[in-house]
Structure 1
Amino acid sequence: MSGTARAGFSVRQRLTAAVAALSTAALVAVGATLYAVESRELGQSIEAGIGQEVDELRRLQADGLDPETGEPFDSPDRLVTFFLTRNLPDPDEMLWAFPQSDRPSFVGEPDPRLSRSPEFPALVAELSETGGIRDLVVDGRRYRVGVQPVVQGEDRASFVVTSDVTAARTALLELMVTYALLAALSVIVIAAIASWVAGRLLAPVRELRETAQGISEGDLTGRIEVRGNDDLTELQRTFNAMLDRLEEAFASQRRLLDDAAHELRTPLTVLRGHVELLDAHDPDDVASTRDLLTDEIDRMARLVSDLLLLAKAERPDFVQPSPHDVEAVTLGALERARALAPRRWVLDAVARSTHVLDEQRIIQALLQLADNAVRHTREDDEIGVGSRVTEGRLELWVRDTGTGVPDDMRERVFERFSQTEGATEGFGLGLSIVGAIAEAHDGRLDLDPAPVDGRGATFRVTIPAGGQA
């Protein structure tokens, strides 16, 4: 048994086969119904034809006068013979006169099978007393035979109508053969059209597959051209949006790794240099080197912790929002911030409302902004923390009266590892962490316009109204 998986039928092929099968079943059902209806009508038509001929004979017999002489018919043979001379049989039909003593005669298209058949006169003789209609099979052909006895005194004759059922059905069979050919051609045409339509409808799915294969090969730049306005179009848009998020996530991870490698290289170089220059026999050198190495290790630990936090921000469970009192959150952040450094800490404003948010993450964001403010202020500077609800939005901010943000850094200050000139502490990840927390709440982090005197800065976290409880 081969280990190679055998390719199955494509969706397009299965749809085409299903449409062809359904069309075939429908056409077969229509054909069978048509044949049954036409067969029944054919049988009824033959019965009606025989009955009509017999009724006409009966009317002539009831009248009893010979139109040629004006006298009553002198014998049953004369009545039947006269009737045959004045009537034309329908196609596939023969009218017969079976006299009492003479040979039978007929009108209509000669049929040698009946003329030579011994079963035919035997059937007529059997029905000559009571009359009736029977089927007769001669040489594989089916006939419908109607016999009407004509009695006058002691004389007796028989009027016989024969209809070739097989010949009548031949036309029906030819019709059904024509129908079958047309039905087969219709199925082929329907299957071709179904295949074309299925190909058009499944084109977006094929593009999805090809794009997914490109992703498997490492290409995240491919996108599907969106056309139309249906469910598959929405699937294309959703797939493109997913690719955008994946590409952004991979790019973010690459930037994070590149930046981390760059930032970790410096403390590692410092560690290596001091270890290489360490004089193990000098206690003072060992002590100072140990303190320096400990500080560098702590810095690397903080960097790794911040990087892990930013990486976790990509996960859906990064925040776990629930209803919280905004006033309690704001006051809690301010009380914690007072321990960061001796500054003039003030409460600017407080929102007395309940909002759906992650209390720990919001406090973490405010403390990060407060720590950032501490690094850019002096002991006599003021740092304010506040919150408010405006136009259905919750705003939380931290402002300071420190050195402010230079104009050339106002756009780049939110980038990872970006630091203002003169900054000696941190890694430039604080605002990135705050921005990640705001985005996890479907919000944003903004820097207010610079004051007129250029001093101080206000960083504001805004959460949309959808989170209000």
Structure 2
Amino acid sequence: MPAERFPRRTSWFPALSVRVRILAAILLVAAAGMIAAGTTAYFVQRDSTLDSIDTALLGAVDDARFIAKDSKATTLNAVLEAVVQRIRPGTNEATLAIIDGAAALAPGGDVDFRLEENRAFVARVVGETATGNVVLGNVRTDGRTVRYVAAPVDVTGDAAVGVFVAAFDLDAALRPVTDALLTSLRVTLAALVVLGLVGWLVSGRLLRPIRALREAAARITASDVSERIPVVGRDDVSELTRTVNDMLDRLDGALTGQRRLLDDVGHELKTPITIVRGHLELMDQNDPADVVATRALAIDELDRMNGLVRDISALAEVQRPLGVARAPVDIAVLTELVRTKAAALSGHRWVTTETANIVVPVDAGKLTQALLQLAANAVSHGGVDGTIDIASATGRDAVGNPRLRLWVRDDGPGISANAQDHIFERFRRGASGRGPAGSGLGLAIVCAIAEAHGGTATVASAPGHGATFTIDLPIPPDVVAPEQGRAEQGRAEQGRAEPKEQSL
């Protein structure tokens, strides 16, 4: 079924780099926060100033009432004159007395602004106080906004109607608050500029490894993954760089192994193909005996190539990340069953000198495959009719961590020190052996199985003293390792091992 194609999602900012986007997001959040803080402070201070103005205006009305009573005047004009004289307007303030709808009395001297010249304002105040209530209001006069209070005044026995007015210049009173807001905005702008510069430098430094990663990824090809990214610092980005370098190491190792495998396979297949081709070219088609001999040789070489391909598949399966399926396994039972199976390989004397009495999570099938491969190797390269020991034991490494060891020991001619250095490499064959030659992958498969379990495969040998192949595996911390496995000296059989009906 063909894959459906979906339109690619387009970015809102296709031309902007990650560095610019990060910096823009930081600046937007910082600007929003600073402006919100400044605006909130402005409105809080503005409301506080307006409240204080209203309190002062109402206080002036209370003072006017007190002065009116204290003056003991009997006429409205005398009362308002006393009030206007004793309540002197301060900065950004003004007062006015209105009698019978006209501006009558105003403070003398120099005041910030005057109200008596604005007839429209006088008429407005007279109308608002006609009901006899004190009125608070705002008015625009002479280019300024004025907050005022108007209180009606009357004197018993005097038919005149008066109004006392006190006012504040709101623009002047709120100017410090407005100036503070403007200053806050200027500081915010300067802070954003500094933050942008610092953020640009810091983001560039932090994103430098990512740019290096992108450039390195662009330079890496399928044939060359040797380049690594320099690690700088100890932050999350440097950890990402280390992770990518580790990935490149694994990729490089996998590609190197793949190239080596292809080279080795090509080399190993070249020989049988050349042999078959040469004999087919030289075969006498009219000679039945020659045809039969050539056919037998070709089949033998094809069988050998089939075994090579089978071993390569087994090696590839073990080396896959999910090639090992762990499950709890009784190692003592596993050791006995491997000995039982191996006894059918030859007439050697098969013994088990030790067994590890422990249950460990391993892949029983793969571990059996490895031990049987070592057993077959001992049959082929060990003594003709000697003793082969298949055993297991627990112990500890140099730092005290618990380990599980499984080994196959023969008493054959041994292995030279030079051969031991390369014995677990692919397509390495022993110098001599009995029976058909192998593919050279058997010990490589053993090593791969051990490594897939987190362990190692080693060999200890000296010419004339046999060889011991050991699979050394770690024991998980949650598994309690018992004392070293019980010795089972004397249990040996010639050519066979007594089977036991036990399961893994």
TM range (shorter): 0.7 to 0.9
Query: Equivalent residue for 2:268?
Result: 263
Q: Secondary structure at the match of 2:277?
A: helix
Residue 172 (structure 1) aligned to one of 142, 158, 177:
177
Contact 2:93 2:113 in 1 (8 A): no
Letter in 2 for 1:457: A
Q: Secondary structure at the match of 1:294?
A: helix
Query: Equivalent residue for 1:135?
Result: 137
Q: CA deviation at 1:216?
A: 5.5
Query: Equivalent residue for 1:432?
Result: 444
- Between the aligned partners of 1:281 and 1:121, the Cα distance in structure 2 is 140
Question: RCO (CA 8 Å, sep 6+): is it higher in 1 or 2?
Answer: 2
Q: CA deviation at 1:74?
A: 6.3
Q: CA deviation at 1:457?
A: 0.6
Contact 2:93 2:166 in 1 (8 A): yes
Residue 68 (structure 2) aligned to one of 61, 66, 82:
61
Residue 463 (structure 1) aligned to one of 460, 463, 473:
473
- Between the aligned partners of 2:82 and 2:275, the Cα distance in structure 1 is 136
Q: Secondary structure at the match of 2:234?
A: coil
Residue 352 in structure 1 maps to residue 357 in structure 2: yes
Alignment of 1:234-273 (within 5 A): 234-273=239-278
Q: Which range moved further: 242-251 or 155-164?
A: 155-164
Alpha-carbon RMSD across the aligned residues, in angstroms, is 3.1
C-alpha change, 1:448 and 1:422, in structure 2 (3 Å) is: closer
- Between the aligned partners of 1:63 and 1:112, the Cα distance in structure 2 is 27
Q: CA deviation at 1:86?
A: 4.7
Alignment of 1:91-110 (within 5 A): 91-99=91-99, 103-107=104-108, 108-109=110-111
Alignment of 1:125-164 (within 5 A): 126-127=128-129, 130=132, 132-139=134-141, 141-148=144-151, 149=153, 151=155, 153-154=157-158, 156=160, 157-164=162-169
Q: CA deviation at 1:348?
A: 2.5
Contact 1:114 1:138 in 2 (8 A): no
Residue 399 in structure 1 maps to residue 406 in structure 2: no
Query: Equivalent residue for 2:280?
Result: 275
Q: CA deviation at 1:87?
A: 4.6
- Between the aligned partners of 1:365 and 1:463, the Cα distance in structure 2 is 13
Query: Equivalent residue for 1:38?
Result: 45
Letter in 1 for 2:268: E
Residue 32 (structure 2) aligned to one of 25, 48, 51:
25
Residue 383 in structure 1 maps to residue 388 in structure 2: yes
Query: Equivalent residue for 1:118?
Result: 120
Q: Secondary structure at the match of 1:56?
A: helix
Query: Equivalent residue for 1:12?
Result: 19
- Between the aligned partners of 1:180 and 1:321, the Cα distance in structure 2 is 66
Residue 458 (structure 2) aligned to one of 438, 443, 446:
446
Contact 1:128 1:158 in 2 (8 A): no
Query: Equivalent residue for 1:69?
Result: none
Identity over aligned residues, as a percent?
36
Q: Secondary structure at the match of 1:329?
A: helix
Q: Secondary structure at the match of 2:64?
A: helix
Q: CA deviation at 1:121?
A: 4.0
Contact 1:388 1:394 in 2 (8 A): yes
- Between the aligned partners of 2:223 and 2:184, the Cα distance in structure 1 is 56
Alignment of 1:411-430 (within 5 A): 411-422=421-432, 425-430=437-442
C-alpha change, 1:343 and 1:111, in structure 2 (3 Å) is: same
Q: CA deviation at 1:421?
A: 2.9
Residue 335 in structure 1 maps to residue 345 in structure 2: no
Letter in 2 for 1:116: N
Letter in 2 for 1:448: A
C-alpha change, 1:215 and 1:4, in structure 2 (3 Å) is: farther
Stretches of structure 1 that go unaligned for 5 or more consecutive residues are 65-71
Residue 49 in structure 1 maps to residue 56 in structure 2: yes
Q: CA deviation at 1:276?
A: 0.8
C-alpha change, 1:158 and 1:137, in structure 2 (3 Å) is: closer
C-alpha change, 1:190 and 1:153, in structure 2 (3 Å) is: farther
Q: CA deviation at 1:219?
A: 3.8
Q: How many residues get paired?
A: 459
Considering fraction of residues, name the structure with more helix: 1
Alignment of 1:60-79 (within 5 A): 60-64=67-71, 73=73, 75-79=75-79
Q: Secondary structure at the match of 2:241?
A: helix
Q: Secondary structure at the match of 2:354?
A: coil
- Between the aligned partners of 2:221 and 2:81, the Cα distance in structure 1 is 95
Letter in 2 for 1:145: Y
- Between the aligned partners of 1:280 and 1:341, the Cα distance in structure 2 is 41
Residue 186 (structure 1) aligned to one of 191, 195, 198:
191
Contact 2:381 2:432 in 1 (8 A): no
